[in-house]
Each structure stands twice: as C-alpha cells, then as structure tokens.
Structure 1
Amino acid sequence: MRYSSAPDYVLFLIVLVLVVFGSVMIYSSSAFVADSGFKTSVYFLKKQLVWIALSFVLLFVFKSIDYHKLRYLATPALVLSLFLLVVVLFFEPTKGVKRWIRLGGFGFQPSELFKYCLLLFISASLVKKSEKIKKLKYILIPYFLILGIAFLLIFKQPHLGAIFAIGTSSVLLLFVGGARLRHLLILILPVFLLGVVLVFGLGYEKDRVRDYMNSFKNPLEGSYQLQQSVIGLGSGGLYGKGLGNGKQKLFFLPEPHTDFIFSAIGEEGGFIFTCGIMLLFLIFGLRGIKICLSAPDRFGFLLAFGMTSILISGALINTGVVLGLLPTTGIPCPFLSYGGSSLVMAMCGVGILLNISQQKALKKRKSYSKPYRWKRK
C-alpha cells in the first residue's frame, strides 16, 4: 500500500521515550523485590523486555496494515474478546481476583484486549449508523447491551478500574460519533446506580472503596498502599532522591513497579520528572487529537479518537490513584508500568494511530462515508 505522508514521528518518539524510561524505572523499583523473591534483580526487567520486543513488533504490524481493513475484523475481534472474558473466570485466582489467563510463566488480561476491540467495533459500526445513532434505540442496542454483558463479566473478576476506563472511553466515542448527550445521560444513570450496588456487593472492591474513604477521615485506617504511594511521591521533593535511591520499594510500597510506578518516579525523580511525564502524555493526547482531525474519513477519525481516549484515560486514572485522588483501581500507567497485556495492547493502539497519521492527506474515500463534522445538529 502507498501512503501519502510520513507517520507522526513525534508521537512515536514520545512512546519510545516513555517505554525506555519505564524500563529503567521497572528495574529500579523492582530490583530489591526480585532479588529477594527470585534470587536475581533483573527478573521483572527480563520479562518486561520480552513484552517490549513483542509490542514493538505489533506496533509496526499495525502501522503497516491499512486501518480500513480492521473494520472487517471488528465484530470477530469483539466476539473473541468477550469469549476470553468468560474463559478467564475458569482460571485460578491470583491474589483474590480472576483477571489473568496464565500459560507457563506469562499471563494475559482479556479486559485489556476487550478495551481496544470494543472501541474498534464502535468506530466501525458508527460509520454505518451515522444518522441512526441520534435515535435512542440504536444506542441501547447493541452498544449498551454489549457494555452490560462485558461489565457483568468484568465485575465477576472483579476489576472496577477496567470498567471505569472502558465506560468513559466508550461514552466519549459515542458522543463524538453523533449520539445525543441526553440519550447517553438517560442510559448512564441506571448503569451507574447498578454499578454502585454491585461494587458494594463485592467484598474485594468494597474494601478498596471503604479504605479510600477512610483515608480522608483517619489516615491510620485508610488504604496502606495509597498511604505509602503518597509518602513516596511526596518524599521525592523537587529533584528526587536519585535513581535507585528510593526507600518505598524496600517492602513499604507493595509492587511499586506495577500500578504505582508513578509514585516510584516521584520519589526518585522528584516533581520535575513527574511533571515531565505528564507533559509527555499531554503532548501525546494533543498529537492524537491532531491525527483525529486530519484523518481521511469518518472511520479514521473515530478510531483515532478511541485509541487516544483509552490511552490518556488510563494515564489519568493511574496518576489519580497514585496521587490519592481515586481509590485503587488496578489500572497500569500506559508504557511505564510493568505488565505485558497493557503494554502490548497500548502499542497496538499506537500502531493504529501511526497508520492513520500517514494517510492524512489521502483523498477522502466515499465508501467510508463523509468525515465527522464538529458542528453538531
């Protein structure tokens, strides 16, 4: 296939910097724990490097495949991801939750795959239903039916953070795709109320929310992990303690290389490094929006928006938890946190964004409908 322009190299460079820096911080924050538990300080780093290699391969694969072809895979991919959400419930729980399909020494989270498959499906179907989407019944069926089934399956794991990220990104995509705000609000309210009932009926997530609320009343009764996260983040000061000199990773902050790696960055790199990371994510989001607006057709616009929103929402939720603004959710920081599922799917999303960016000057294709107009009727 011939492309009209070069891909967005700024976006790619940002991702490369985040992944490389994330690898350094994964080693720094996990070396002590790895040496104590696995007799080698590079245990987690070596596993992450395998995922990084695979993720870059997939990035270039999705960068090279015309994104229009993904439209025909949208429904099969969604069905497969829903099937895996069922399959994961039959695996043995890890630390009280059933989120991973584990084969050998590696595990995969189906909820990560579902995030991207759902946004691909919504983007593809909105192209066909560009006018019908303004009617309530076309929002309820199939979108909220699919979301309802998926949310119930993810609640069984349970994984409140994934539900929040998926729900937020899906609603935003439906809105920019033409759905009326009042229709979305009508449907969101009962889903939210049902979610509250289910959350407080699940001991695992109920305890997380309770600990978070208690941290405002009495810090001694709040979430220990959140407390240690805030301590680590604040103790770094302006310039940090220096790479490798953090103290919270010495069994004070549980698993600092995963969902709380941003706290480790704050402790060792200080306020300057944390601001630098947030600035990179801000630029990433702006480049993603630029790709949306320059997409050659409506499908490209919607797909680029979906990929950008799920990645940025993940970063915002993760940093919100680390800062103590949100209860613990189990959402990793894209490109930075240890974990293969999140990294691989994030890099697939970046590959799609790069593919769309290099087709920005192509003549708009009639077969994919006219592009989205910002002026809403």
Structure 2
Amino acid sequence: MSLEKTMTLARTVSLETTQAISKTLSQVPVPPLPEWINRFMAGSNQYGASAFDRSFIVLGLTMYMVGLVMVASSSIPVAERLFNNPFHFVIRHGIYIGLSLAIASVALQIPMSWWHKNSSYLLGFAIVLLVTVLLIGRSVNGSTRWIVLGPITVQAAEPAKLFFFCYLSAYLVRRREQVMENLKGFIKPLIVFGVMAALLLLQPDLGTVIVMFVTTFGLLFLAGAKLWQFIAMALVGATSLGMLAYFEPYRWRRVTSFLDPWQDPFGSGYQLTQSLMAYGRGDLLGQGLGNSIQKLEYLPEAHTDFVMAVLAEEFGFVGISVVLILSMILVYKALILGRYALAKEKYFEGFLAYSIGIWMCFQAAVNIGASAGIVPTKGLTMPLISYGGSSMIVMTLALVILIRIDHEIRLQSIQATSSKRPSKREAKSKVKQDGDK
C-alpha cells in the first residue's frame, strides 16, 4: 500500500472515530447546574429591587483569600521572632477581614444620598484625623501615621483618602460648570487637596499624597476641565514632588536606590534588591506555597508593602498575573459603573465610582511597581491583599460603595420600567374600551 493511500485511510478512520465519539457524547445527559448557581448567575444580570452585581463580592472575597494565604505564608518568621507566635499576624488579618465584612454589612444599607449630603462633614472629619495623628499619633520608623485607641490602631491617611474623594465628587456635582469654564472652579478643590497634602507630608506620607494627586487629576479631567489646566497642574505637581524628594535626604536615597539598587545592596538598596531576588526566584510557576526564602527575614515588610514579592517568589509570573487580572477586572468594573452612572444622570455616584477605580488602579500599580523596581518605594499597600487593618477596612468600604451604587442604579431602572407599565385597573379599562369598539 502506498504512503498516500495509507494517509487517506488514516484520515478516514480518524474522522469516523471522531464522529462516533461526538455522537456518543451528544447522547450523554448533561446534569443541570445546582439551583444556587443559576440564581447567583441570574442575580448579576437582572434589574430588581434586591439585585446587585455579585461579581464585586466574588472579586473581593477572592482577593481576601489570596491575601490571607499570602499574609500567613510571609509573616510566620517575623511573627515567631517578635511575638513568639507564628500565627500572630495571620490571626489579626483574619480579624480585620471579619471586621471589614461586619462594617460592610452596615455600610451597604447607607444610601448614596447620605454620602453626598454629608461629604463636607466627612472631609472635616478627615482633616481632624490628620491633625490628631500629628498631635498624639504613634511613630514607627520615623513616621507618625497611627492613632492608638486601646487595642485598635487607625492609620488616619486611609479614611482620609476615601472621605476626600467623596467631597471632591460632591464638589464636581455642584460646580461642574465652573470647573469646565473658569480657573476659579478648577482651583478650589486643589486648595483643599493642598491642605490635606500638607498635613500628610508632616507625618510624612508622600505615597498617599501622590495617590490623592493622581486621583484628583483624573477626576477633574473626567469632569471636563480644560487641557491647559491639566498641563499646568501636571507641571506644578511634578516640580513639587521632585523638590520634596530632592530636599528630603531619605526620600532622595529612595529615588537613587531605585535607579540602581545594586550600587548599595546592603544599604539604601537592600529592600529592593531582596525583592528583585524574590521575583527572580519565582520564574514562571514559582517555588511553591511556603517555599519562599526572602520572607525568612531577608525581605523587610514582606507581609505588608512587599507581599507581592513573596507571592511572585512562591507562585511565579502566573500567580502575579492572576492577582493583576483580578485587580484590573475590579478597576474596570468600577470605571464602567462610573460611566453608566453618569449616563443615568447620577453624577455624584458616577464621579465617586470613577475616583475609586482610579485610586485602586494607581495604588495597585505603585505597590507592584515598587516591589518590582519599576517605581520608587512609596509604602503603599496592595488593595485587599496586604496586611493592614485600616487599609483593609477602607478598601472594603470603597467596594461596598460600588455595590451600593450599582444597586441604586438597578433599582432606578426597575422603578422606571414599572412606572411605564399600566396598572391593572388601567389595563382592564383599556380591554373594556376595546371590547365596546
């Protein structure tokens, strides 16, 4: 038999086999999905009074679990040394998650109109927190950022960010035309930002200032401010940040060590070089959960600011990619929600959703970028993953606000649809009239 006939016969047999398998599989009954899965999937798409986008909850809980696992893995050595309890930090992190969920269940009942109406009071409370931390705050590693209330430690900058974004969103609703038409409306929110930035720099906390600046910049752009105002704002902001870094020795050391950490690997570049080693060891699939070497007190802050470096070492490029995808999906949904809210003329909700999306995106980018040596270290946590009670609670609160915005838009849609439908009495009257005709 020739080679050509052999190949033809093989293809025929293969095709017949494939068809037979397909026919057999088509006859196999497919079990239905469990009813709770069907209800869950339907609930994210139906517009009812009790409906909301459940994917926000799925994303949040998934990132909670990733964070809990990574905090457990990365904090055991330092917890054993400091507290003689290897599970000290992971237990506290679990408590923070539980507390966040409890606060979320309450905050979910608060209508967006309350946030809008009380935005100025929230801003005032944020400023009081920032002043209080300077007066009675606890200092750690040269920074005064924490207010101690018995067993509770509050990082004042975290709620200050959210409350400032609430104020800024409400301001843009009231003064959007002024922001678009004249310089006065554009400058007013920047003055408020300047006051908060000054208080934050006294702690000092440059990272939070940068996050707030970028979010303010993005929100004013989305509100329709003029291009030349953004160019001026960007130039002033870049110049100010450069001067703040240059005239503060420890900040300048961070910048220079970021540019070439290997020049001083046991001094100013120590943390970054250890982080880069963790990324290098991770390769594609990582060393496996619990097998990180850098977390054995070689990498400082392994369970907080540099938790992503440990994740990269243990789960590799694939693990980092999964976390990035989860974060970007959450950011994308926040931005889409903001656009949809503006289209529905819910301007406060739209601007606030936009600000939360920009905030989460930039903070996640800076956290991962700092641990990978792309940007200078800023001391920012990875949203919903890094250890830290204040950050966890505030980020959860921001996520709950997104869920509430989505719920109110869906509720508005179903109410609008119901109002267009004729009542039963009107329907009966119309049927009777048609019968008389």
Identity of counterpart residues, as a percentage?
A: 30
Q: Which amino acid aligns with 1:320?
A: G
SS of equivalent to 1:329: coil
Equivalent residue pairs, number: 362
Correspondence for 1:351: 400
Structure 2 residue 75 is matched with structure 1 residue 30 = yes
Contact 1:126 1:177 in 2 (8 A): yes
Any residues of structure 2 matched to 1:35-50 within 5 Å, and which?
35-50=80-95
Tell me the equivalent position of 2:150. 104
Partner of 2:123: 78
- Aligned position for 1:54: 99
Letter in 1 for 2:197: F
How far does the alpha carbon of each residue in 1:205-235 deviate from its partner, in whole angstroms, 9 at most, with x for none?
2222232233276766651111111111120
Q: Secondary structure at the match of 2:153?
A: strand
Q: In the aligned structure 2, how far is the partner of 1:271 from the partner of 1:245?
A: 15
Q: Which of the residues 340, 345, 363 maps onto 1:314?
A: 363
1:123 maps to 169
Q: Return the TM-score normalized by structure 2.
A: 0.79
After superposition, give the CA deviation of every residue in 1:319-368 in whole Å (9 maximum; x if it has no partner). Answer: 1101100111000000110001111110000000001111223548xxxx
CA contact (8 A) 2:75 2:303 kept: yes
Q: Which amino acid letter does the alignment assign opposite residue 316 of structure 1?
A: A
Match of 2:383 among 334, 339, 345: 334
Whole-Å Cα distance in 1 between the matches of residues 48 and 100 of structure 2?
A: 23
**Is 1:177 aligned to residue 223 of structure 2?**
yes
- 1:196-215 matches, within 5 Å, as 196-215=242-261
Instruction: Give the alignment of 1:293-304 within 5 angstroms.
Output: 293-295=339-341, 296=344, 297-304=346-353
Tell me the distance in 2 between the aligned counterparts of 1:133 and 1:266: 43
CA shift in 2, pair 1:209/1:44, >3 Å: same
Residue 93 (structure 1) aligned to one of 122, 136, 139: 139
Matched-pair contact (CA < 8 Å) for 2:158–2:391? yes
Matched, 1:152 2:201: no
Do the aligned residues in 1 keep the contact of 2:262 with 2:273 (CA within 8 Å)? no
Equivalent residue for 2:37?
Answer: none
Q: Provide, for residues 88-129 of structure 1, a one-character-per-residue CA deviation record: whole Å limited to 9, x for no partner.
A: 112242111111112334321111111111111011111111
Instruction: List, as ranges, runs of 4+ consecutive aligned residues in structure 1 with deviation greater than 3 Å.
Output: 2-5, 216-222, 361-364
Q: What's the counterpart of residue 373 of structure 1?
A: none
CA distance in 2, matches of 1:203, 1:93: 19
Residue 113 of structure 2 aligns with an amino acid whose one-letter code is H
Q: Which residue of 2 aligns with 1:232?
A: 278
Mapped partners of 2:208, 2:191: distance in 1: 17
Q: 1:280 corresponds to which residue?
A: 326
Structure 1 residues 71, 3: closer, same or farther in 2, change over 3 A?
Answer: farther
What secondary structure, in the 3-state scheme, does the structure 2 residue paired with 1:98 have? strand
User: Residues 218 and 30 (structure 1 numbering): CA distance in 2 closer, same or farther, change over 3 Å?
Assistant: closer
Asked whether the 8 Å contact 2:51–2:407 carries over to 1, the reply is yes
Match of 1:187 in 2: 233
Q: Which sections of structure 2, spanning at least 5 residues, go unmatched? A: 1-46, 414-437
Change (3 A) 1:329 1:76: same
Q: Secondary structure at the match of 1:248?
A: coil
Structure 1 residue identity aligned to 2:281 = S
Task: Tell me which moved more, 172-181 or 336-345.
Answer: 172-181
Q: Secondary structure at the match of 1:108?
A: strand
| Separation (CA, whole Å) in 2 of partners of 1:307 and 1:156 | 25
- Give me the whole-angstrom Cα distance separating, in 2, the residues matched to 1:362 and 1:15: 23
Rounded to whole Å, the distance in 2 between the matches of 1:231 and 1:101 is 35
User: Shift of the alpha carbon at 1:24?
Assistant: 0.9
| Contact 1:123–1:302 (CA under 8 A) maintained in structure 2 | yes
Which deviates the most, 76-85 or 330-339?
76-85
RMSD: 1.8
Per-residue CA deviation, residues 244-300 of structure 1 (Å, 9 max, x unaligned), is 111101111012000000001111111111111111111111211221122241111
> In 1, distance between residues paired with 2:72 and 2:411?
43
| Other-structure match for 1:9 | 54
**184, 188, 210: which one pairs with 1:137?**
184
Letter in 1 for 2:348: F
In 1, distance between residues paired with 2:313 and 2:262? 22
SS in 1 for 2:355: helix
C-alpha distance in 2, partners of 1:106/1:211?
34
Amino acid at match of 2:74: S
